């Protein structure tokens, strides 16, 4: 096995080869890297360009667009919002191979929890597509995603939100959501025909399951009946909220909660 002596470190290190010709090439490459550090990136580009012609110009913006185009429905909308994240503004027009691990870590530290999570997914997508020749941050060194404390609102807090809500459709939406226990997206897309007045059951398919599970069936009582009487008999139960972007509905609810100090 061939070794080399690093004069700067004062250490004898393994070259990882048993062949003299390979050892000489490795030593020459290391010496060039020390003497001409500004050429390192250009040399790397020249080698990688042999198998990937876009390596010199491909940016993170292009990667985000490619990943977003592979998604559908709510997931696609989610990635579209990620692409607009202010924490990623510095990164968007940066070329992959010119990005340093330190730069990426700084972006992750300045962003929210979702920034770290989706940035990790984007990084792995680029590795899988062979657009990144190596991981910018080793797997074990990625910052841990730590979620803040969350809790459900209480019945009293929900009552305050409903009483303060001036918009009739949104008020009915919040009341119906409390009893149905559905996600806001599932609730917003409900049609009037999901209500079976004979059996007093609402039946709908969850978006997340995408037809892979059993429809949710909820038996309703007088409280839901009173809410349903004020909603349309045909078409969407919530005509306006059905057209609102997925991320806007929870944002409005968060604003309502914050207004009451919740």
Angle formed at CA 145 by CA 143 and CA 147, multiple of 5 degrees = 145
Chosen domain end from 139, 173, 196: 139
Coil, strand, or helix at residue 36? Answer: coil
Q: Please give the structure tokens belonging to residue 114.
A: 């979702």
| Domains identified in the chain, total number | 3
Q: Do 242 and 160 reside in the same domain of the chain? A: yes
Give the helix/strand (H/E) hosting 14: strand 11-14
Q: Do 133 and 178 reside in the same domain of the chain? A: no
Q: Do 159 and 86 reside in the same domain of the chain? A: no
Give a yes or no: residue 261 inside a domain: no
Nearest in space to 99 (alpha carbons), one of 68, 108, 128, 129: 108
Q: How far is CA 220 from the centre of its chain?
A: 35
Q: Do 244 and 160 reside in the same domain of the chain? A: yes
| Side-by-side strand order, sheet with 195-196 | 195-196, 201-204, 216-219
Q: DSSP letter at 191? A: B
Expressed as residue numbers, the domain containing 13 is 3-48
Half-sphere exposure of 65 (CA within 13 A, CB side): 7
pLDDT by residue for the chain (262 residues), tens only, comes to: 999 998 877 889 898 899 999 999 988 888 877 776 555 656 665 555 555 566 678 888 888 888 888 888 777 878 888 888 777 777 888 887 777 777 777 777 766 677 778 888 888 888 888 787 778 887 777 777 777 778 888 889 989 998 998 888 999 899 888 887 788 888 888 888 888 888 888 888 887 776 666 788 888 888 888 888 888 888 888 989 888 887 788 888 888 888 888 8
């Amino acid at each position: 096995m061939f070794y080399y002596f690093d004069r700067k470190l004062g250490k004898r290190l393994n070259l990882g080869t048993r062949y003299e010709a390979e050892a000489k090439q490795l030593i020459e490459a290391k010496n060039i890297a020390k003497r001409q550090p500004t050429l390192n990136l250009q040399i790397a580009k020249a080698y990688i360009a042999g198998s990937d012609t876009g390596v010199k110009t491909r940016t993170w913006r292009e990667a985000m667009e490619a990943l977003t185009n592979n998604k559908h429905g709510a997931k696609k909308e989610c990635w579209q919002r990620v692409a607009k994240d202010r924490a990623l503004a510095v990164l968007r027009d940066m070329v992959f191979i010119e990005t340093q691990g330190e730069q990426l870590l700084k972006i992750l530290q300045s962003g929210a929890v979702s920034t770290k999570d989706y940035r990790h997914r984007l990084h792995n997508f680029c590795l899988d597509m062979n657009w990144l020749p190596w991981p910018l941050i080793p797997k074990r060194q990625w910052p841990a995603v730590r979620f803040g404390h969350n809790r459900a609102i209480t019945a009293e807090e929900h009552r305050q939100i409903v009483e303060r809500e001036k918009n009739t459709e949104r008020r009915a939406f919040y009341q119906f959501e409390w009893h149905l226990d559905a996600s806001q997206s599932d609730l917003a897309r409900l049609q009037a025909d999901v209500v079976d007045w004979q059996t007093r059951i609402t039946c709908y398919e969850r978006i997340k399951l995408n037809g892979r599970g059993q429809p949710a069936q909820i038996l309703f009582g007088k409280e839901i009946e009173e809410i349903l009487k004020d909603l349309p008999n045909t078409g969407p139960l919530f005509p306006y909220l059905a057209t609102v972007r997925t991320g806007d509905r929870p944002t409005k609810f968060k604003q309502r909660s914050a207004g009451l100090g919740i």
